[in-house]
Each structure stands twice: as C-alpha cells, then as structure tokens.
Amino acid sequence: MSEYEECTDALVDPTVLTELQAELGGDQAIISTFIRNYAELLPWRVERLHHALEKLDIEDAMDAVLSLKTSSHMVGAICMSRLATELEISIRLLPGPAHLDELRALVNEIEHFVSATIRELETPLS
C-alpha cells in the first residue's frame, strides 16, 4: 500500500476540530465558518501550486505549499497536511527552480484528494 492509498483511510482527524471547538468555548458557528473557509480556499491553494510549477517560481511554490500545509493541519485534514509536508521537503531538496516540473505528479496527487477532503470535513455540518 502506498502512502497515497493510506490517505483514503484517514483524510480528516475530527479530534482536531473537536479540540479547537473546546478551546473556543464550544462555539460551533466559528468551527463551521473555519471549515467553510478552508473548503472554499482548498482548490485555489492547489491551483496556486500548479501555477507556481508552470512558472517555475520556487518562492511562490514554497509559499503556496506552506499555506496548504498550515491550513490543512489547523483543520485536521491530515492527508493534505502530510502530502503538503512531502511536497515542501521535495521543493527544499530541488537543485533549483528549473526542476519544479519534477514535482507535478505530487501536486496531482494532492489535487486527487481535494474533493473527498472537503466532503469529509463538511459531513458533520449536514
């Protein structure tokens, strides 16, 4: 089983949001807004990664992946966070921006999990 297949078993860790809700005094409205904002921005964040790779812009790629990693971690999207961390490390190990295109497959893997991650995050809101 590859690490990407493992993501299908655990896209979201619900305890992260439960703990955040407890820290915020149990306010479900804040958590719902937080989830909604993440879900709305997730496709844009992944598209930003694609765009940075196309432009061979290593600084924008790093900024985009750190945004994805941090926001995913905060909302409990553990698969996204793990894949973003892997991408971050890969970017740091590149010999230069001309090699960014080598990471396209990993960004495609990240994109593969966007819809399912959003669905899983929004399920408790239904």
pLDDT tens for 86-98 read 999 999 999 999 9
Of 61, 80, 64, nearest in space to 72 by CA:
80
pLDDT at res. 1: 36
pLDDT in tens, 42-73: 999 999 999 999 999 999 999 999 999 999 99
What is the rounded CA–CA span in Å between residue 55 and residue 52?
5
Q: pTM for this structure?
A: 0.89
Q: Read out DSSP for 81-115?
A: HHHHHHHHHHHHH-SSGGGGGGGHHHHHHHHHTHH
- Asked whether the predicted pLDDT for residue 80 surpasses 80, the reply is yes
